[in-house]
Amino acid sequence: MNELMLKVENVSKEYRLGTIGGGTLKGEIQSKIARLRKKEDPNLKIGEKAYSKNERFMALEDVSFSIKKGERIGIIGHNGAGKSTVLKLICRVTAPTKGNIYLNGRITSMLEVGTGFHPELTGRENVYLNGAILGMSKAEIAEKFDEIVEFSEVGQFIDTPVKRYSSGMKVKLGFAVASHLNSEIMIMDEVLAVGDMAFQRKCLEKMRRVAEEDGKTILYVSHNMQTIRTLCSRCIVLEHGKVVFDGDVEKAISIYMNDEANTDIEIDYTHIPRRDWLRDTYIRTRYTKFLNKNDNIFSDRDNLDIKIDWVNEKNVTDLGLRVELKDETRNPIATALFCDFYSGEKDKQGSIKVSFPLKGLVAGTYTMNYVFFLKDQTGQNIDVDCVSGLCFEIRKDSEIIWNAKAWGNIDIDGNKILEVE
């Protein structure tokens, strides 16, 4: 399948900040007069920034890529990288400032499933309404109606007003309508984390099947690296509106983590600058490594064993260490705390080996921060050194697509059903 379905060529998107107001006419006039008189805008909220008329923001800058028929492409990047902007440009929700986008086929836009559902209408009526919004003809909807209802799992409630549906039922029906649209290109933005776990597996399998069997092209944006790994055959990484990588999925995920230590088993901190907020450096972290490991791949049955070396820049007493664990999006999820384990004189070198279990952590990529701390005269902890630690990945066999964004990163172990009636 070498037929080209989508080509994004040197595309940029620029926004002019603060030029469109959202208030009343009176407020706009007041703001305009204040700007002309070079005075403070009376309608600004506390802490809100006043943009100059000529201030601009480049959401995308010279982005280029192409997609062939049947390819399953993932787009990843941190918040604000430009992922959703790319999808909106491809779906023609907005126009590029410069560059061209060439499409070869009909697009299914699944940016927000269930958009356009009317609460007073029944599920049946909303299937036809939503299908029309997505570009399906009445005949196409009628032909696929039974498949849509069966896939959505809301069959017995299809003639019930949607306002009676739960939120899960709404997104199931919305996804079912969008996924059955006769199109060659499917655009999805975080839509596979809908419904319960069984429905998520069904959605993922549906997407894989339509790509492999029907030759549909899929463009998928997500922060869930597990679904990216499962669904995508190629991955694009965006950073600050630019394409920084386009290729292998695992390599893309590693780059997305934005940490050179992603595949390293050791780090030398000798020449790494420290963070500005550190008030006084008593300790200087020198080196870290995994113990008894030749890679950074673990299972949730393993223990994480690491060694950290440092040098005292001053006399220290009752040194403590925090190993802060963070997920793929840099959100903290757990901390291992080691208190009052060391005292030493200036210029003396120290070393600590620590271990903690990974039991309960779901599959994914994790980073660490190492933070040394001391107690001040009032007994409060003061951080005296902080560095980004090693990165590691947990792999496990599971049929469940874990939605870490909604459920967290801990799969509680030892839970059991006491009784079912």
Domain finish residue from 256, 278, 309: 256
Residue type, 136: M
pLDDT at 102: 92
Residues 243 and 265 occupy one common structural domain: no
Residue 409 covered by a domain: no
| One domain for residues 270 and 340 | yes
User: Are 26 and 82 members of one domain?
Assistant: yes
Beta-ladder partners of 85: none
Q: What is the CATH number of the domain that holds 305?
A: 2.70.50.60
The position carrying tokens 């992603």 is 262
Q: How many CA atoms are closer than 13 Å to the CA of 264, on its beta-carbon side? A: 16
Per-residue pLDDT, 370: 93
pLDDT in single tens digits along all 421 residues of the chain: 578 889 999 999 988 765 555 567 777 788 778 878 878 777 766 555 555 555 677 889 999 999 998 899 999 987 778 888 898 899 888 899 999 999 988 887 776 666 668 889 998 998 888 888 777 788 888 888 998 898 888 888 999 998 898 877 888 888 888 888 778 888 887 766 555 667 777 787 888 887 777 788 889 888 777 778 888 889 999 988 899 899 888 788 877 765 444 567 888 988 777 766 666 677 889 999 999 888 888 988 899 999 999 999 888 889 999 999 988 767 788 899 999 899 988 889 999 999 989 888 888 888 899 999 988 777 788 888 988 888 888 887 665 667 666 677 777 777 777 678 7
Between strands 56-68 and 4-16, the pairing is antiparallel
Q: Is residue 419, in this structure, part of any structural domain at all? A: no
Residue 280 Cα to chain centre, angstroms: 35
Are 100 and 247 contained in the same domain? yes
Number of Cβ within a 10 Å radius of residue 112: 13
- Is the same domain home to 39 and 93? yes
Residue whose C-alpha is closest to residue 258's, from 395, 79, 408, 78: 78
- Is residue 414 one of the residues assigned to a domain? no
Gap between the Cα atoms of 22 and 28, Å rounded: 9
Number of other CB atoms surrounding residue 100 within 10 Å: 11
The pLDDT, as a whole number, for residue 261 is 40
Quote the pLDDT of residue 401. 66
What pLDDT digit, counting tens, does each position of 77-129 carry?
877 788 888 988 998 888 999 999 999 888 877 766 666 688 899 989 988 88
Q: What single DSSP character describes residue 299? A: -
Q: Residue 373 in contact with residue 321, Cβ under 8 Å?
A: yes
Instruction: Say how far apart CA 274 and CA 281 lie, in whole Å.
Output: 9
Residues whose CB is less than 8 angstroms from the CB of residue 223 and which lie 6 or more positions away in sequence, other chains included? 76, 190, 328, 329, 405
Res 215: pLDDT? 81
pLDDT at 213: 78
**Per-residue pLDDT at 54:** 57
Domain boundary among 226, 256, 286: 256
pLDDT for residue 175:
83
Each residue's pLDDT tens digit, 8-55 = 999 999 887 655 555 677 777 887 788 788 787 777 665 555 555 556
The CA-CA-CA angle for residues 65, 70, 72, to 5°, reads 60
Q: What is the model's pLDDT at position 275?
A: 64
Model confidence pLDDT, tens digit, residues 277-286: 666 677 889 9
Cα distance between residue 190 and residue 52, in whole Å: 34
Outline where 213-349 has alpha helix (H): 225-231, 249-256
- Produce one character per residue of 221-255: b if its CB has 16 or more CB atoms within 10 Å, e if not: bbbbbbbbbbbbebbbbbbebbbebbeebeebbbb
Q: Do 199 and 221 share a structural domain?
A: yes
Nearest CA to 291 out of 273, 277, 308, 268 is that of 308
Is residue 173, in this structure, part of any structural domain at all? yes
Predicted local confidence at residue 101, as pLDDT = 93
Residues 236, 287: one domain? no
Specify the pLDDT at position 313: 87
Domain of residue 315, residue span: 261-404
Do 237 and 292 share a structural domain?
A: no
Please tell me the predicted confidence (pLDDT) of residue 400: 67
Q: What pTM, to 2 d.p., does this model score?
A: 0.57
Question: Do 252 and 275 fall into the same domain?
Answer: no
CATH assignment at residue 53: 3.40.50.300
- The verdict on 307 and 208 lying in the same domain is no
Within-domain flag for 200: yes
What are residue 65's DSSP bridge partners? 8
Residue 391 lies in a domain: yes
The pLDDT value recorded for residue 205 is 81
The total of structural domains in the chain comes to 2
Nearest partner of 293 among 284, 280, 303, judged by Cα: 303
| Residue 296 counted as domain residue | yes
DSSP string across 37-85: TT---TTPPTT-----TT-EEEEEEEEEEEEETT-EEEEE-STTSSHHH
